[in-house]
Amino acid sequence: MNGRWLRQGFLYLLVLVAIVVVIYSFLPQGQSRTQDVGLATLVQDVRQGQVGEVTVSGSTVTWKRFDSDQQFRARLEQGDTVRKVLQDAGIPLEQQPVVKMEQGRPWESLLNFFIQLLPVILIVGILFLFLRQAQGTNSQALNFGRSRARLINSSRPTITFADVAGVDEAKEELKEVVEFLKYPEKFASLGARVPKGVLLVGPPGTGKTLLAKAVAGEAGVPFFSISGSEFVEMFVGVGAARVRDLFDQAKRNSPCIIFIDEIDAVGRHRGAGLGGSHDEREQTLNQILVEMDGFDTSTNVIVMAATNRPDILDPALLRPGRFDRSVVLDRPDVKGRRAILEVHARGKPLDKGVDLDVLAKQTPGFSGADLANLVNEAAILAARRGKRRIGMAEFNEAVDRVIAGPERKSRVMGPKERQIVAYHEAGHALVAHVLPNADPPYKISIVARGMAGGFTRFLPEEDRHLYTKSQFKDMLASMLGGLVAEELVFGEFTTGPQDDLERATRLARQMVTQFGMSERLGPRTFGRKEELIFLGKEIAEQRNYSEKIAEEIDEEVRQIIDHAYHTAKKVLMENRAKLDHLVQVLLEKETVEGEELKALLEAPPGEEPALPPATPPQAPRPEGEKEREKAPTPQTIVQPRPGLAFEGGGPMASVLQDGPDH
């Protein structure tokens, strides 16, 4: 810090001196300055009696006039003296001024020369300091072609495999890569070669970058980390130059690991660019391909990369010899979520009543990042409430906050609207409880959160990867339970079920056009989606069927929705007394969950439910709200990967919530 201050102070001092010297050199000559003249002026001044003393220094003669401070200077010819010059001019000896001899100073000429060069020296020095400072701060102006990769040495404390949970299969694959680097002779003796590259694939938040950091901590070799977007600049050729510099550094530190995060920024299909087939991004990709598997294949450098869009990567990047392995990191199952919660809860003071198994079951579809956020939110809530330990109440509320957002205490509903919301949410829960293939309800709330006026959250008995037609039918009936309850009680339904209708219609159409679950059209798929690889998103759906088939698809979707509607209506009409009682409890308590909700739903008609022992009152907990369904929602189905069943999408996968009007 002090050294930097001194350098900057010296720089400012140089600038100030340069300004003073330049200004001084351009000042007009004053009366006290020396004026160069000829010897004729000296002779004239002596004749006029204006000179009393003359000083001779070598061949230079200086004098002053009596009436002025102006000093004059002249030069003598070789062999001449002042007296001889004056005598030759006819001036008698008695009229000549006093002549003082002064020893010559040869360094004066050198000093004058240095003073004249001083501005130039100062300017050169300032430029030199500026350039040194620019290089010391990694200025982009001088380092366009230098790689921006960050080198992580094995001596630095980093994350290890013990800090990563829920992805056991991926950890095993990467442990093998670490062994390749630590004990190469073990594999070389069997003729095995080190994998050139490992591609980490998975949805956002599943721990791809965290796993790469764990490899860096375990490998004990240099680890270069860079993002795909850091290669490309506005100047042509910079990306390829940075790739060359990165691999040159890696070869000098071999064996080592290079990690490229979000490689899809530079690894998309070539020839798919909107502005041409050979742009800067493609030059960068070409250089990566050459460096990974070009003529020089003897280096012991492993390349790791992470992406959540493997479908848009160039095929040349994915072939064996470049990325030999593709490690899939999916959203964790119940066991994985339990392990992740343990990792993030490590070192935090938890209350004895905290049950991580229940939390793991409440969070289907949560990624590792979602679970880390959940634990952090619970800790923040406990600190806000002045507690010394994090309790189950904070964790339950944190689940609701992550899914649906914070509680909106300022949103006040009238008695009528509040009653509509209560019947709507009770309808969802009651239909899901009665139907055998629907997930059992875990929590109902009519407290507004986010954009929803209330929500119903479910607790799946197990993680599902495959769904049947009967399960879809019960899920659709549960989605429409809120609409049917409103219509049954009030004679018409409101705008609240808008989101339920949207999701139900989408699921019914998927059953017909994608999953082949239509009795009328049979096991067939209809429509083919098209997308621009460069944009990475669907832009259209090509219809590969006739208008007649389109009408039949619409009719089949209508029949599926109608069947779900009538199923929900039948359930609610048969359990009307239980529905009314559940609504009364909701209006009184605003939130019902867990064993209390289960007792209310299982109580025989006309009997009071056997409620569990009362628990100490807790701060009103935001109730898990029904998802806004912009991302894959509760029962929304996400496109399946080849060889796998479709998956539920995201943390919202077990929530039904009301639309903005509620």
**What pLDDT is recorded for position 378?**
93
**518-541, pLDDT tens digit by residue?**
888 888 888 876 554 444 445 456
More confident residue, 354 or 118: 354
**What pLDDT is recorded for position 608?**
56
Average pLDDT for 564-579: 92
* DSSP letters for 301-340: EEEEEEES-GGGB-HHHHSTTTS-EEEE-PPP-HHHHHHH
Identify the bridge partners of residue 149 per DSSP, sorted by sequence position.
none
* DSSP letters for 486-541: HHHHHSS--STTHHHHHHHHHHHHHHHHTS--BTTTBS----EEEEETTTTEEEEE
Average pLDDT for 563-590: 91
**What pLDDT is recorded for position 568?**
94
**What pLDDT is recorded for position 531?**
52
**What pLDDT is recorded for position 653?**
41
Mark whether 623 is an active-site residue: no
Q: 607: pLDDT confidence band, cut at 50, 70 and 90?
A: low
The answer for residues whose C-beta is within 8 angstroms of residue 110's C-beta and 6 or more apart is: none
More confident residue, 430 or 657: 430
Q: Looking at 85-94, 146-155, 332-341, 367-376, which range is the least confident one?
A: 146-155
CB atoms within 10 A of CB 157: 6
**173-191, pLDDT tens digit by residue?**
888 888 887 787 888 788 8
**What pLDDT is recorded for position 353?**
86
Q: CA quadruple 77, 80, 82, 88: dihedral positive or negative?
A: negative
Taking 50 as the threshold, does the pLDDT of residue 244 lie above it?
yes
Distance separating alpha carbons of residues 313 and 375, to the nearest angstrom: 35
**What pLDDT is recorded for position 112?**
63
Identify the bridge partners of residue 91 per DSSP, sorted by sequence position.
none
CATH topology of domain 150-328: Rossmann fold (3.40.50)
More confident residue, 105 or 244: 244
More confident residue, 304 or 276: 304
Average pLDDT for 31-48: 72
| CATH (residue range 334-403) | 1.10.8.60
* Catalytic position from the list 425, 486, 487, 625: 425
Q: 233: pLDDT confidence band, cut at 50, 70 and 90?
A: low
Average pLDDT for 306-319: 87
More confident residue, 173 or 232: 173
**56-73, pLDDT tens digit by residue?**
776 777 877 777 777 878
Q: Which of 17, 102, 107, 122 is nearest to 59 (CA)?
A: 102
CATH 3.30.720.210 fits 32-104, yes or no: yes
**What pLDDT is recorded for position 376?**
92
Render the burial of 578-616: b for 16+ CB within 10 Å, e for the rest. bbebbbebbeeebbbbeebbbebbebeeeeebeeeeeee
Taking 70 as the threshold, does the pLDDT of residue 321 lie above it?
yes
Average pLDDT for 636-643: 29
**What pLDDT is recorded for position 12?**
67
Distance separating alpha carbons of residues 36 and 12, to the nearest angstrom: 37
- The torsion angles phi and psi of 214, rounded to 5 degrees, stand at -65, -40
**What pLDDT is recorded for position 659?**
43
**93-148, pLDDT tens digit by residue?**
666 777 766 655 555 556 666 666 667 777 777 776 666 655 554 444 445 455 55
The tokens describing 97, both together, are: 């001024």
Taking 60 as the threshold, does the pLDDT of residue 48 lie above it?
yes
Average pLDDT for 268-279: 61
**What pLDDT is recorded for position 32?**
46
What sections of 101-167 are H helices per DSSP? 107-136
More confident residue, 563 or 43: 563
Whole-number mean pLDDT of the chain?
Answer: 76
Domain extents in the chain: 1-30+105-143, 32-104, 150-328, 334-403, 417-657
Looking at domain 417-657, its CATH class is: mainly alpha
Cα→Cα distances 78→59, 81, 82, 418, 621, Å: 8, 9, 12, 117, 108
How many CA atoms, within 13 angstroms, populate the side-chain half-sphere of residue 403? 34
Average pLDDT for 446-470: 81
Cα→Cα distances 505→403, 464, 509, 520, 551, Å: 23, 21, 6, 18, 15
Q: 8: pLDDT confidence band, cut at 50, 70 and 90?
A: low
Angle between helices 547-574 and 415-434 (to 10 degrees): 100
**What pLDDT is recorded for position 320?**
85
**What pLDDT is recorded for position 115?**
67
Q: 223: pLDDT confidence band, cut at 50, 70 and 90?
A: confident
Taking 60 as the threshold, does the pLDDT of residue 617 lie above it?
no
Q: Which of 115, 353, 312, 145 is nearest to 233 (CA)?
A: 145
